[in-house]
Structure 1
């Protein structure tokens, strides 16, 4: 199966100096274009022996410092990031014939930042963060539901739920960001912003 792409592409002369600005423009177009969960991204990590794994996570914030998501620190990705603090993010905006890839180093957000975000989560999602030992084996669905029900009795709707100590944020600080625009005849545009040692960005065009 092959999709037809657009004739209009991505030109170096139209790029902002900072890649996060272009990401913001593309993200806004993904939102206005009605894409389902445009902040969904594939997060790829690797263990200490270089064996990769991937999963879909929701982007919660981005700015010049990096791209932030939240998870259980004891999850598979959390354990991998402990021994190998590097990650790749992929935003697959297929309906717009666009992709963005972010590659960089990873650090935990501060506890205050985690707590502030946790307070904005729906009550059920707050309880779910406590109920789920993410990536760990559970005996049955019933056991997971019982954990949730016990927490719901302990923290009824409207009562503050503290952020679990093993749950928090990660910030991916990009070393490079690639913007992919689908074009006719499979001659897609690939422009990669690469951070220099000075902190400035260099733009490189890659063959599709």
Structure 2
């Protein structure tokens, strides 16, 4: 197979300045709503989270967007995981949504902060009990000898909390990415893609600019 021959043209839609919302959160909500309704797309809330550790080496992984509020985008994880360690050392992060069947991408950059414990607790206890137990059983990103060892811990916890509320781990909770940059990409014919970025000014206004493809 020759990878250099793998290509397709993008003709699904165009993105114009006149159709953009003035607020990037509203623009994101509009695209996300359409993505969730699209029959050709699954896991529309999945995004790539990029962080950078103390050594300067970047790390990426897929996580799920779980909420949006007036200041940012919220996801949940183990605070001792690789991503948690990176964020502790460097609060700058980048999010990337790739909705390739729709020929759309969104890039979001900003500073990460922890959400308050009450918000984390409320979300944790809204999850299926099996997921709560999984979070309690896993020391995310730590090495382990075998899957059997992890399953043994999980089943022990399942028995222990069979008739009890599962406690949220102390090292587990939510993060909020507070963006200062958005970029919306719509694939275009002849590789003349439409790209618009929103940059936050010193007065917290959003400046919109078209970028070359």
Q: Same fold by TM (over 0.5)?
A: yes
Q: Which SS does the other structure have where 2:139 is aligned?
A: coil
Report the equivalent of 1:164.
169
- C-alpha displacement of 1:63: 2.8
Report the equivalent of 1:53.
59
Instruction: Please point out which of 18, 26, 32 is paired with 1:21.
Output: 26
Report the Cα distance in structure 2 between the residues aligned to 1:29 and 1:16, rounded to whole angstroms.
15
Instruction: Please point out which of 180, 203, 211 is paired with 1:206.
Output: 211
Instruction: Please point out which of 46, 63, 72 is paired with 1:66.
Output: 72
Deviations, residues 150-183 of structure 1 (Å, cap 9, x unaligned): 1100111x63212110000000000101000001
Whether 2:113 is the aligned partner of 1:107: answer: yes
Task: Detail structure 1 runs of 4+ shifted over 3 Å in the superposition.
Answer: none
**Number of aligned residue pairs:** 207
Q: Which stretches in structure 2 are left out of the alignment for 5+ residues?
A: 1-5
Report the Cα distance in structure 2 between the residues aligned to 1:96 and 1:133, rounded to whole angstroms.
36
What root-mean-square deviation, in Å, do the aligned CA atoms of Structure 1 and Structure 2 show? 1.0
- C-alpha displacement of 1:7: 6.0
Contact 2:12 2:102 in 1 (8 A): no
Contact 1:20 1:63 in 2 (8 A): no
TM-score between the two structures when normalised by the length of structure 1 = 0.97
Report the equivalent of 1:8.
13
- C-alpha displacement of 1:62: 1.2
Alignment of 1:77-88 (within 5 A): 77-88=83-94
Deviations, residues 28-52 of structure 1 (Å, cap 9, x unaligned): 1111003211000000000123210
- C-alpha displacement of 1:64: 2.4
Q: Which stretches in structure 1 are left out of the alignment for 5+ residues?
A: none
